[in-house]
Structure 1
Amino acid sequence: MIQFDGVVKRFGPVTVLDELNFSVRPGEFVTLIGPSGSGKTTILRLLMTLETVTGGAIYVDGECLSHMRRGDRMEPADDKHQRVVRKRIGMVFQQFNLFPNMKVLQNLTEAPIRVLGLSRAEAEERARELLDLVGLSEKVNAHPSQLSGGQQQRVAIARALAMRPDVLLLDEVTSALDPELVAGVLALLKDIARTTDITFLCVTHEMNFARDVSDRVLMFDGGQIVEDAPPDKLFTEPDHERTRTFLQAVLGRG
């Protein structure tokens, strides 16, 4: 469902991703861990076309996201091509990114109506179902400012699901939440992962969540994957010394 083929990303003289190769199978939940600055969030930003690749190519379900064919050659994709491929991808951000001037219902219906071409009635029906799923059906007419941080993040998750994505990207979705709200949001995501066939690519510092929900965990350092393993293996018997020192630092164990 996702394939990075020799992807390079540079910001000026700094190489953030260095000939990166990895893939995510349909319906798989893959979590990226590693120190700050290792390139994890850049991967999500490339998939959302918020950044462009310096080299290599990115594919979503076999269709190239980063490039397009023109005649007999491939060239960097234009906005129109990227929008078509990107329709299949949703993202939940750290800071919720809800529209403050819109009520909760409109936050969930605006994009499906404008981008997917749904009727207002269909979009609102879907939105109410999703708000019920995330436990916020009573907040349908509230503004984001009237919600707690945990409630706003639940709305953001529902908004991403409203676009019926094949792929859902999660970028440190609990980092802006008070500690007592984290467990509820993670439990919701775990439930969605287990009850849908959505493909997940997740960046998180919540190691217990990564261990509980992931099919695979990728350890990043210096723009490269240093270890790729099932969570039981990576968290208990990592092969790479860099993984061991990272886990010791974040989990406080030897």
Structure 2
Amino acid sequence: MIRFDRVTKRFGDTTVLDDLCFSVAPGRHVTLIGPSGSGKTTILRLLMTLLRPDAGTISVDGALLTHERRGGSLVPAGEKHTREVRKKIGMVFQQFNLFPHMRVLRNITEAPMHVLGLDRGDAEERARELLDLVGLGEKCDAYPTQLSGGQQQRVAIARALAMRPRVLLLDEVTSALDPELVAGVLDVLRDIAHTTDITMVCVTHEMNFARDISDEILMFDAGRVIESGPPERIFSEPEHERTREFLSAVL
């Protein structure tokens, strides 16, 4: 479902991703762990085309994301091509990024109507189903400022799912929440992980959550995957010294 093939990303003289290769199979849940600055969030930003790689290619569901073939050559993708591939990807950010002037229901229906072309009735029906899924069925007519941070993040999750993505990206989705609100958001994401076939790529410092939802853990350091495997092994018997150091600091 996702393939990074020798991807390099630099910011000035700093190489954030260094000839990175990894893939995620359809329906799998992969969590990226590692110290700050190791390249984890850059991967999500590349998948959302908020950034473009300096070298290498990225594929989603068999289609190149930031490149396309023209006349037998590989060239930077046009906006139309990138937009079509990006439709398969949803993302939940650290900050909720809800439209403050729109009620909750419209926050969720806006993109499906304008990007996917759904009519209002179908979009609203889907939005109400998703709000029920995240435990906010009674908040359709509320404005974001009338919700707690945890409730706003659950609306953001529903908004991402409304686009029917094949891939869901989660970027430290609880880092902006007060501690007492974290559990509710993580419970919603656990339910999604366990009851849908959406491919998930997660960046988190919530190691118990990573253990619960992940099929595979990728440990990053200095822009490379230094160790990968099922959570039971990574958390119990890590092989790399850098992984052991990192986990001893966060567990």
2:40 maps to 1:40: yes
The corresponding residue for 1:53 is: 53
1:71-118 CA distances to partner (integer Å, 9 max, x unpaired)? 110101121111000000000000010011100000000000000000
Secondary structure of the residue aligned to 1:57 is strand
CA distance in 1, matches of 2:15, 2:81: 26
Deviation at 1:198, TM superposition (A): 0.1
The corresponding residue for 2:75 is: 75
CA distance in 1, matches of 2:10, 2:134: 38
The corresponding residue for 2:25 is: 25
Secondary structure of the residue aligned to 2:69 is strand
Deviation at 1:165, TM superposition (A): 0.3
1:185-230 CA distances to partner (integer Å, 9 max, x unpaired)? 1111011011000000000000000011100000000000010010
Please identify, of 68-77 and 232-241, the stretch whose mean Cα deviation from structure 2 is larger.
68-77
Secondary structure of the residue aligned to 1:129 is helix
The corresponding residue for 1:200 is: 200
Deviation at 1:23, TM superposition (A): 0.3
Aligned positions of 1:68-107 closer than 5 A:
68-107=68-107
The corresponding residue for 2:178 is: 178
CA distance in 1, matches of 2:100, 2:87: 23
CA distance in 1, matches of 2:82, 2:10: 20
Deviation at 1:70, TM superposition (A): 1.3
The corresponding residue for 2:151 is: 151
CA distance in 2, matches of 1:37, 1:77: 28
Compute the RMSD of aligned alpha carbons: 0.5
The corresponding residue for 1:246 is: 246
Deviation at 1:241, TM superposition (A): 0.2
The corresponding residue for 2:212 is: 212
1:3-24 CA distances to partner (integer Å, 9 max, x unpaired)? 0000000111110000000000
CA distance in 1, matches of 2:121, 2:169: 27
Runs of 4+ aligned residues of structure 1 deviating over 2 Å after TM superposition are: none
CA distance in 1, matches of 2:235, 2:38: 19
Secondary structure of the residue aligned to 1:69 is strand
The corresponding residue for 1:232 is: 232
* Unmatched segments (≥5 aa) in structure 2: none
2:221 maps to 1:221: yes
CA distance in 1, matches of 2:12, 2:70: 28
CA distance in 1, matches of 2:201, 2:217: 10
Deviation at 1:235, TM superposition (A): 0.1
Amino acid at match of 2:108: L
Amino acid at match of 1:43: I
Secondary structure of the residue aligned to 1:176 is coil
Secondary structure of the residue aligned to 1:220 is strand
CA distance in 2, matches of 1:183, 1:135: 13
Aligned positions of 1:161-176 closer than 5 A:
161-176=161-176
